[in-house]
Structure 1
Amino acid sequence: MSSEVNHHVSYKKNTYQATSTGKGRFPVINQLTKRQFKDNTILKVRQLLLHTKLFASLTMTAVGIVGFTVVVGFLPPVAFVTAAIAGGVFGGGYALLIVVTKNATRASVGKDKIFSVCGLKPDTEIEEMPIEAKEVQTLVIPNSKESFEWKKKLIENAEKRIILSGNYCGDKCFDEILDIIREKMETKPELKIVIISSPKFLKESSKKAVFNKSKIRYLEETYPDRFQFVKTGDHYMDSKQGLKKITNHTKALVVDGTHFILGGSGVEDKYAYLEGVGDQAEVRSTGSTGETPGTIAPGLGEGPIGTIPTNSEDGGGFFQSLFSSSGGGLLEFLLPRGFRDMDFLFTGEDAARELDLELLKLARIWEQYNSPGDDIWYKEEILDSRSVVSALIDEEIDTDCAVDAEVLFKGKKLVSGRCKLICSGPEMSDSPYGKTLLEEVEAAKDHIYIDHMYFHPTKELSDLLIRKVNDGVRLTIVTNGNESYSPKGHRMFGPRNRYAYAKIYARVNEENRDLIKVYEFGRGEHNLPKNTTLHKKVIVVDNKVIAGSSNLGYKSTVSSSDHEINFVLESDDAAEATIEVIKDDAFQLLRKAHSDKRGTVIYDDDDNPLSLPLSIKVEDPLKYYTFQYQLLALRHRKSAWLIG
């Protein structure tokens, strides 16, 4: 694939009744012809197959995890025996179901077919569509806290259209965004806004003064033709690569078809209020109103829209609280309290228009996913032509209304470059992002910096990195490890990070090993950065930056299970600025913090930080090139289709 070509989804008309919407700028999935699914029994059987395979896959994943855990001595053998029996029952049940239904599904289910209960149909055909790199001006944003301020600034200066895809939006910082949006809607009658996000982290608590759901509901009911919140939950899909757990993983904001932000940070407090440098304390109570429990969400007024029922406080039952991201649920136990991340701010009409349309296409696809499953096959019109998404697709982008970059970015030095979007999703049978990484690394001449939450390169990429180091290219890796002070989730993927870089180090010629530098984020002294994960998704190859929402893991580089938006930015200045941020991830000194009674973060000895860098240099990567770490890496591989 040349540097000017990107992978996008194209749906052939002989498979779908694809409709060119608006000005014919891109096709959108609309409906299937009735002739293709005359027999509803086949559909029901396929739905049953998918659900059963999902159940079997989850069980077998658990068997694999428990089995390898037993091998390394963390659990007693009886745990593996129990899991194996359960796996055998469900796996055998699935195999029996395949035999029983084989004739009924022979015509519609094949090894090379993609099918799903929700949205995507059999015989999906993927084509390559060329996308050219566009001229842009760029500002490298060193941390997610600063990025959140830029997101607010872009939204505050919007005139006609805002499209925000946060992957996860929620908590107090999202209330801030919704408050700005409400004010903009009241003062800008032509403004239209689409937010694309998972509902998992939306909060509703008068005790904590967080009113995400009520504020969304108010905007939807007050401005139904101008505001739309597109939910992106989790779905499952069967494909020729196996089962996919799919979600929207994109993190992007585009305003007025002119300015945009891409990177790895969502709109949630752990991104918005923290830099991930030891500043983790009680997150400041921005926007707190001191309202008493069970009263009125601030600014929403009396009546059903603004009223928060007291029994909706922080939960709604045992299972909801168990998997809640707040209030001590399972997710709260597993997820880190702080993230170290970064984003990139761009200005440039051509690139911004491209991103605008990609996000609208993403919203249309998720509108379809959210349609009722059983009816989706026979509906005459599954997409609401009156939706805000449809209105924005049909509406010409008026970039003349956008705030001038010199005014918006006054005092900031933006650098020039050429940006190419890399958009991918579960509709694809392979990974454009994975292909792009191989192409860019293949072209490396001097240095490669990899700053990623996961370091799980494919075999092809690992072999390529080994060859490049043996050719004299310098390789620097900054990633997460797994120590007692690490967030609980690191226990799953941290050992695989270690085994992956250790394997590369071991296979490089001994005389070239000095070209490899490995740093693990976090350290034990003072327990800082406290419960914080390096969430970066950034690679620099010579003068090119490859970044965005994708992790360096299975779901992004192999199966393309999630919707992702990445970019390749060619710019000497931007690459240099990004490397400086990566060096900060390794060498920046920690700051110790606490909070006062008002919840405000206060730094101890702010002018004299602790003499400890953020990361620890791994002096001997070979200590992780062991059979035990190989087993732990294999344990993660068994669940990679599910967690990345």
Structure 2
Amino acid sequence: DSYNCLADRSALSNQTFSTEAFPTQHSADTEVWRMKMIESAQHNIVISGNYCGGKAMMATLDKIEERLGKVPDLKCVIISSPKFLDQNIRTRLEGLKSRFQNNFSLVLSPDVVHIGNGLKFSTNHTKCTVIDFGKYFILGGSGIKDNFCGTGISGYSKKQFLEERGLENSYESDASGASFWNKLLGSFRDMDFVFKTKGDNDEGCRIFSQSLLLAYRWEQYNKQVNKGVFETASVPLENIGQLGVSKFGGVRCAAYAESVPDSVTVELLKSSPKELRDVNTVVEGFEAQSLAKDVTTKIITSGPQDATSNFGTAVLDQIKKAQKRLVINHMYFHPTEEIMQEIANAAKRGVKVTVISCNVFKDCPKSHYVFGARNKHNYMRLFESLTPEERQNVEVYNFEQKNIGTHKKVIIVDDSVLAGSSNLGYKSLVTASDDEINFLCDSEKFADETWKVCQKDIEKSSKFEYKKGALTIAERCNSYFHYLLSAVHG
């Protein structure tokens, strides 16, 4: 089983470490911090963008090329779906691989079908940027593609945002584009989270190791599909735990010897990571942010090798604990029956429940016609499970901006934040079909700063008012049809 190489994921999910962190305001803000991290990297860069393409990707490659030229020993691995890598980007990537053949690697992660723990339609859905063994990292929901990298606010462009920050914009955003997918999806409103691992806490290396293991798995998959065309070393899967990056339990393992020329991914896996206290990387401007200083952080991973969803378990456990507030800010509001019941239970015990999602509205992205009715159906189900008095504890908002959809994946429970790449839908909550990286953070300040960004979403939303019988027959049919296909699209 090719997933045995990720056997250490369970250990990863049970560990916590201390970070400093803050939420970005939107995806254009995220892009600024991604660029800052790239230009600060001293040792390594690992980026998993899920969907990468357009001018946003070209700008990222510009920054990476500039940094690789300045730091001879720097190594960079990018994991991306091939879907939006057009010929211009592929030519550029080939140029980078040629110029920095021992330092730069692109690992493609196409959509695949897995047969193992059930039939799963899978993709690499992770969105992360990690530099220098996990000293700094970004997790969240933003891809590196033009319609994923804007402000998500009508009338407030990425160009305006950058000008306000005094930053240059070498590539004009092309969020609308002419492609079918851009027209279907529109642009997105999203946010991410920027972290710095505190002190010499080497648990922070785990996000680095997880990203590399993900790259390794896709590299080996591609090698099998291409029948050896890729000149990457085949590290036996049973020996993956011997690679230098695997230092769980404080034990630094010996690197696995391999005579075949290694890929950049395998070189990084085989290398012994530096102690984080010896990593002196500084990302300019990080300390000037409204930082939460002592954030207890847990990384939660899930993927098609898992029989059940670690993310789904975390969502359920967190909602059960809610005492003061429960904020669900997600593109999909498709909770499982058990999670829906716990949301209702939270409202019944007096917890202030706020749902921010989306529905069909005038000038909405065309994709809302696919899943919006199911969101509305679930709003109705939630309200109908409560008494009129209990309903006063629930507020539901639909994000509405012209041709912009919310793409958020954030849950706040009291003073905790659970967020990352997973949607609140079937593939993430039940089957764990896609590779995902999420986090759970405990910090009152971090949760409050995240809530401030969510409040800005509410300002751009319309409040959903419950009215019995408001769901039409057409909406019920649409919702049921989406439910039947949820194994494919989430």
Tell me how far 1:505 sits from its aligned partner.
Answer: 0.6
* 3-state SS of paired residue (1:217): helix
Amino acid at match of 1:354: R
Q: Is contact 1:341–1:535 with CA below 8 Å preserved after alignment?
A: yes
The C-alpha deviation readout for 1:355-398, integer Å capped at 9, x for no partner, is 0000011011101221234969xxx9745760111111112223
Which residue of structure 2 aligns with residue 632 of structure 1? Answer: 478
Aligned residue for 1:251?
Answer: 127
Q: Is the counterpart of residue 270 in structure 1 residue 147 in structure 2? A: yes
Distance (Å, rounded) in 2 between the aligned partners of 1:191 and 1:489 = 40
Where does structure 2 lack aligned partners over 5 or more consecutive residues? 161-167, 236-259
Structure 2 vs 1, CA of residues 636 and 288 (structure 1 numbering), >3 Å: closer, same or farther? closer
- 8 A Cα contact 2:141 2:192, kept in partner: yes
The equivalent residue for 2:191 is: 342
Distance in 2 (CA, whole Å) between partners of 1:27 and 1:518 is: 40
> What is the aligned partner in structure 2 of residue 223 from structure 1?
100
**CA offsets 1:128-170 (integer angstroms, 9 cap, x no match):** 7663111110111121111100000010011010001110111
Distance 1:636 1:259 in 2: 38
Q: Secondary structure at the match of 1:438?
A: helix
How far apart, in 2, do the equivalents of 1:130 and 1:444 lie? 21
Q: Give the match for residue 535 of structure 1.
A: 407
Matched, 1:642 2:475: no
Correspondence 1:107-256 to 2 at 5 A: 131-204=14-87, 211-241=88-118, 243-256=119-132
Q: Distance in 2 between matches of 1:234 and 1:571?
A: 36
Q: 1:621 to 1:191 in 2, by over 3 A?
A: farther
SS of 1:372 mapped into structure 2:
helix
The answer to whether the Cα contact below 8 Å between 2:117 and 2:304 also exists between their aligned partners in 1 is no
Name the CA distance, whole Å, in 2 between partners of 1:354 and 1:185: 24
Instruction: Give the C-alpha shift of residue 351 in structure 1.
Output: 4.7
Q: SS of 1:547's equivalent?
A: strand
Closer, same or farther: CA 619–389 of 1 in aligned 2, 3 Å:
same
1:426 match: secondary structure:
coil
The percentage of counterpart residues that share the same residue type is 34
Residues 288 and 443 (structure 1), Cα distance of their counterparts in 2 relative to 1, 3 Å cut: closer
SS of the residue aligned with 2:334?
coil
- Tell me the distance in 2 between the aligned counterparts of 1:392 and 1:402: 19
C-alpha distance in 1, partners of 2:202/2:380? 42
The separation in 2 between residues aligned to 1:187 and 1:404, in whole angstroms, is: 16
The residue type paired with residue 359 of structure 1 is S
Q: CA deviation at 1:282?
A: 9.8
- Aligned-partner residue type, residue 26 of structure 2: N
1:626 deviates by 5.2
The runs of 5 or more residues in structure 1 that have no matched partner are 1-8, 12-17, 19-25, 29-125, 205-210, 290-324, 523-528, 588-613
Cα distance between partner residues in 2 of 1:276 and 1:549 = 17
| 1:459 aligned residue | 337
Secondary structure of the residue aligned to 1:276 is coil
Q: TM (normalized to structure 1)?
A: 0.66
* CA offsets 1:66-102 (integer angstroms, 9 cap, x no match): xxxxxxxxxxxxxxxxxxxxxxxxxxxxxxxxxxxxx
> For residues 505 and 287 of structure 1, what CA distance do their matches in structure 2 show?
48
Aligned to 1:472: 350
C-alpha distance after superposition, 1:581-608 (max 9, x if no partner) = 1111011xxxxxxxxxxxxxxxxxxxxx
Report the alpha carbon displacement of residue 288 of structure 1 after superposing the two structures with TM.
5.4
- Secondary structure of the residue aligned to 2:126 is coil
How much has 1:172 moved relative to structure 2?
1.1
Aligned partners of 1:192, 1:282: CA distance in 2, in Å? 30
> Superposition pairs for residues 299-314 of structure 1, below 5 Å?
none
Structure-1 separation of matches of 2:322 and 2:454: 18
Q: Among residues 368, 372, 377, which one is paired with 2:224 in the alignment?
A: 372
Change (3 A) 1:214 1:136: same
SS at match of 1:642: helix
Match of residue 354, structure 1, among 206, 216, 222: 206
What letter corresponds to residue 365 of structure 1 in structure 2?
A: R
For residues 622 and 375 of structure 1, the distance between their equivalents in structure 2, rounded to whole angstroms, comes to 59
| Partners of 1:341 and 1:327 in 2: CA distance | 19
The whole-number CA distance in structure 2 between the counterparts of 1:439 and 1:277 is 33
Aligned twin of 1:102: none
Query: Shift in Å at residue 511 of structure 1?
Result: 1.4
Q: What CA distance in whole angstroms lies between the structure 1 residues aligned with 2:81 and 2:13? A: 30
Q: CA deviation at 1:509?
A: 2.0
**Contact 2:22-2:449 within 8 A present in 1 as well:** no
Deviation of residue 283 (structure 1)?
7.4
Partner Cα separation in structure 1 for residue 180 and residue 3 of structure 2: 39
Pairwise CA distance, 1:624: 3.9
- Asked if 2 retains the 8 angstrom alpha-carbon contact of 1:158 and 1:402, the reply is no
Partner of 2:465: 619
Q: Determine the structure 2 residue equivalent to 1:574.
A: 446
CA deviation profile, 1:183-236 (whole Å, cap 9, x unmatched): 1111111100000111211234xxxxxx42222111111111111000011101
Cα distance in structure 1, aligned partners of 2:227 and 2:156: 47
Query: Could you tell me which amino acid in structure 2 is paired with residue 252 of structure 1?
Result: C
Larger Rg: 1
Are the equivalent residues in 1 in contact too, given 2:233–2:263 (CA < 8 A)? no
Where in structure 2 are the equivalents of 1:284-295 lying within 5 Å?
A: 286-287=169-170
- Alpha-carbon distance change, 425 to 130 in structure 1, aligned in 2, over 3 angstroms: closer
Q: Which of 395, 399, 403 is the aligned partner of 2:281? A: 403
Matches within 5 A, 1:99-114: none
TM-score (norm 2): 0.85
Q: Verify the 8 A CA contact 2:151 2:157 in the aligned structure 1.
A: no
Say which SS state the counterpart of residue 481 (structure 2) adopts: helix
SS in 2 for 1:202: coil
The equivalent residue for 1:308 is none
Specify the SS of the correspondent of 2:417.
strand
Q: Give the conservation status (yes or no) of the 8 Å contact 1:10–1:127.
A: no
- Give 1:526's aligned residue: none
Structure 1 pair 227/381, CA: closer, same or farther in 2 (3 Å)?
A: closer
- 8 A contact 1:236–1:246 mirrored in 2: yes
Is 2:423 aligned against 1:546?
no
Q: Which of 464-473 and 495-504 deviates more? A: 464-473
> Is residue 272 of structure 2 the alignment partner of residue 389 of structure 1?
no
Q: Kindly report which structure 2 residues correspond to 1:35-54, keeping only aligned pairs within 5 A, or say none.
A: none
SS, match of residue 431 in structure 2 = coil
Counterpart residue number, 1:333: 183
Query: In 2, distance between residues paired with 1:641 and 1:562?
Result: 11
CA distance in 2, matches of 1:543, 1:403: 29
Give the total of aligned pairs. Answer: 447
CA–CA distance in structure 2, aligned partners of residues 498 and 357 of structure 1: 40
Taking the aligned partners of 2:371 and 2:263, their CA distance within structure 1 comes to 40
Counterpart residue number, 2:252: none
RMSD over equivalenced CA pairs, Å = 2.6
Partners of 1:440 and 1:282 lie apart in 2 by 34
- SS at 1:451's partner residue? strand
Judge conservation of contact 1:162–1:193 (CA < 8 Å) in 2: yes
